[in-house]
Each structure stands twice: as structure tokens, then as C-alpha cells.
Amino acid sequence: MGYNDDLVKKRDGSYVLKHKTKKAKEGDCIECGENSKNRPLGGVYRYNTEDMVSVREYIENHLRTYSRHKSIKPIWCNKCQALINYTIMLDIKQNYL
């Protein structure tokens, strides 16, 4: 019988969160800390075709939804090519007219 939680029992009887264990730290990117091996949904990576399609769909939907946003640019990790965040350029003229 196991529990469905994020705890790991150590040898001395204490408990630690799974993401803070040594096993979870193996394979982490040095720059961004992303690790596709221990994440339940995995990360979003530039070299994965399905991920790129979903990023492009997100950008298209975002630009259609927010008309005041001029452009949106995904920021990728230089080492592992994981998606870090998005940079959005606002159309200031449209905001103040």
C-alpha cells in the first residue's frame, strides 16, 4: 500500500519532498534547472515538434486575443532548449489613443 503524495521517506525515518532529493536533481540543466525526466508532464522543448506546434498555437491565440500586444517571443534556455518564458511587446500607441 502506497500513498499518493510528494513525500519520500529517508533511511533515518524522516520525510523529504520528492523534488528536493538527490535522485531528482540528476539531469537538471545548469542554466534553467529544467529536468524532463522527473516532471510529470515534462517540459516544453524547442527540438520537440509537438512542443513547437503548441508554442506556435499559443502565440497565435494570444495575439488574436490581446489586440494591444504587438508581438510575442518565446525565450529558450541556451543549453537544453527548454521554454523559460515569453516576452511580449505592447503597442503603446494603441494603448493611449
End-to-end CA distance of the chain: 64
Residue 27: alpha-carbon gap to chain centroid: 16
| pLDDT 10s digits, 37-62 | 655 556 788 888 888 999 999 999 99
pLDDT of residue 26: 63
Whether the model pTM is above 0.75? no
Confidence check: pLDDT of 68 > 80: yes
CA torsion sign, 69 to 91 to 72 to 63? positive
Beta strands at 83-90 and 69-76: parallel, antiparallel or unpaired: antiparallel
